C-alpha cells in the first residue's frame, strides 16, 4: 500500500430510482474530492439508485459497461471511486453490486452475498446473492469490499483479511432501528462497535460509508467513519445529513498494528476449515 492515502467518504442522500440525478451528485462529489487531492472516494450501498426499489429493481438495473456509466469511468481517470448500483448480469439477474473503478476501468466488483429478508428488509425478493469474498489489488494497495449485511457475518471480514486486504471498504444503507429515549439508537451503537472491533481484531483499516435521508418510511442515519487497525476512530461524519468526509490512512500504522497484534497471522486456517467442514456435514444430516 502507498505510505499514505487520502480517503473521501461521500455520505449522500440518494433519489430513489433516479440514476441521472444520483449520477450528477456522484460527479459533483468526485470533483470536490479531486480538488482536495483525495486518492479514492467512496459512496454508500446502491448509491446510484437508492435502496427501497422493490419492483423497480429491473427498471434501474444496468450492465457494468452501460454507457450511462461512462462519466463515472471517465472521472475515475482522475480519482479512484467505489460506488453502489443494481447490476444486470448476463443471466438477467439483479445483483446488489459495488464497483471499484480506477483509470477508467473496473478494478474489482463485489456482489452482496448476504441479502437480509427480515423486519423491514426484503432483498432476497428482488436480488440474487453473490457467492464470494475476495481481496483485490489496485495501484493504491490491496483492498476488500463488503456491502452492509455482509459486515454482520464475521467470516466475511476474516476471509478478506486473510486474503491480504489491508483496507476494507464497507458500503451501507443503514436504517435507524431501536430508537431510545436518550442516547444513540441501538443499531447505531451496534454498527459502531462492530466497525471498531473488526478493525482491531483483523488489524485492517475500515472505511464505512453509510447513506442519509428518508425513503419509503425508512430513515438512514449516516455516521460514516474511518477506523484504524487499532480500532480507533480516524474521522467521523455527522449523523442524518449529507457530508463529504476526508481522512488520511497510514501504511506504517497498519504495519505497526500487525506486528503489535498478531491475531491475523496466528489464525489456524487449516483447523478452522476442518471444523467448519465438520459442522457442515452435521448440518446436512438434518
> Mind listing the pLDDT tens digit for each residue in 103-119?
999 999 999 999 999 98
Cell 505510505 sits at which residue?
3
pLDDT computed for residue 125 by the predictor: 96
Positions of the chain with pLDDT lower than 70, given as ranges: 285-286
Q: Can you give the pLDDT at residue 179?
A: 80
Per-residue model confidence (pLDDT) at position 133: 98
* pLDDT confidence of residue 22: 98
Across the beta sheet with 80-88, the strand order is 105-111, 94-102, 80-88, 40-42, 4-11, 243-250
pLDDT digits (tens, 9 = 90+) for 117-170: 998 899 999 999 999 999 999 999 999 999 999 999 999 999 999 999 999 999
DSSP letter (8 states) at residue 14: P
**Nearby residues of 221 by Cβ (< 8 Å), 6 or more positions away:** 174, 175, 176, 185, 188, 210, 212, 239, 240
Predicted confidence at residue 286, as pLDDT, reads 66
Gap between the Cα atoms of 215 and 52, Å rounded = 7
What pLDDT score was predicted for residue 201?
Answer: 94
Distance, CA of 170 to CA of 145 (rounded, Å): 6
CATH class of 4-285: alpha beta
Locate the DSSP E strands across 112-232.
136-138, 141-147, 167-172, 205-210, 212-215, 218-221, 225-227
Which residue(s) pair with 84 in the sheet?
Answer: 98
Contacts 24+ apart (CB under 8 A), 153-158: 153/113, 153/114, 154/198, 156/113, 156/114, 157/198, 157/202, 157/204, 158/202, 158/267
pLDDT at 268: 94
**CA dist., res. 169 & res. 227, Å (int):** 11
Amino acid at each position: 500500500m502507498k505510505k499514505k492515502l487520502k480517503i473521501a467518504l461521500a455520505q449522500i442522500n440518494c433519489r430513489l430510482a433516479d440514476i441521472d440525478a444520483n449520477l450528477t451528485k456522484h460527479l459533483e462529489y468526485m470533483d470536490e474530492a479531486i480538488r482536495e487531492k483525495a486518492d479514492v472516494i467512496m459512496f454508500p450501498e446502491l448509491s446510484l439508485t437508492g435502496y427501497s426499489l422493490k419492483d423497480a429493481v429491473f427498471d434501474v438495473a444496468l450492465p457494468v459497461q452501460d454507457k450511462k456509466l461512462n462519466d463515472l469511468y471517465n472521472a475515475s481517470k482522475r480519482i479512484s471511486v467505489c460506488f453502489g448500483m443494481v447490476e444486470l448480469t448476463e443471466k438477467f439477474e439483479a445483483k446488489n453490486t459495488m464497483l471499484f473503478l480506477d483509470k477508467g476501468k473496473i478494478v474489482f466488483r463485489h456482489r452482496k452475498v448476504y441479502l437480509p429478508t427480515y423486519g423491514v428488509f426484503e432483498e432476497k425478493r428482488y436480488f440474487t446473492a453473490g457467492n464470494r469474498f475476495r481481496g483485490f489489488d489496485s495501484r493504491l494497495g490491496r483492498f476488500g469490499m463488503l456491502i452492509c449485511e455482509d459486515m454482520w457475518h464475521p467470516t466475511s471480514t476474516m476471509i478478506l483479511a486473510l486474503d491480504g486486504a489491508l483496507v476494507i471498504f464497507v458500503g451501507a444503507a443503514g436504517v435507524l432501528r431501536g430508537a431510545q429515549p436518550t442516547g444513540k439508537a441501538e443499531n447505531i451503537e451496534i454498527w459502531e462497535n462492530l466497525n471498531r472491533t473488526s478493525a482491531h481484531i483483523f488489524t485492517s483499516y475500515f472505511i464505512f460509508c453509510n447513506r442519509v435521508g428518508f425513503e419509503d418510511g425508512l430513515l438512514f442515519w449516516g455516521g460514516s467513519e474511518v477506523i484504524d487497525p487499532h480500532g480507533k476512530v480516524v474521522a467521523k461524519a455527522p449523523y442524518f445529513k449529507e457530508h463529504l468526509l476526508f481522512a488520511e490512512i497510514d501504511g506504517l500504522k497498519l504495519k505497526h498494528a500487525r506486528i503489535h497484534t498478531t491475531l491475523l497471522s496466528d489464525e489456524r486456517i487449516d483447523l478452522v476449515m476442518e471444523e467448519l467442514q465438520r459442522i457442515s456435514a452435521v448440518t446436512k444430516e438434518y
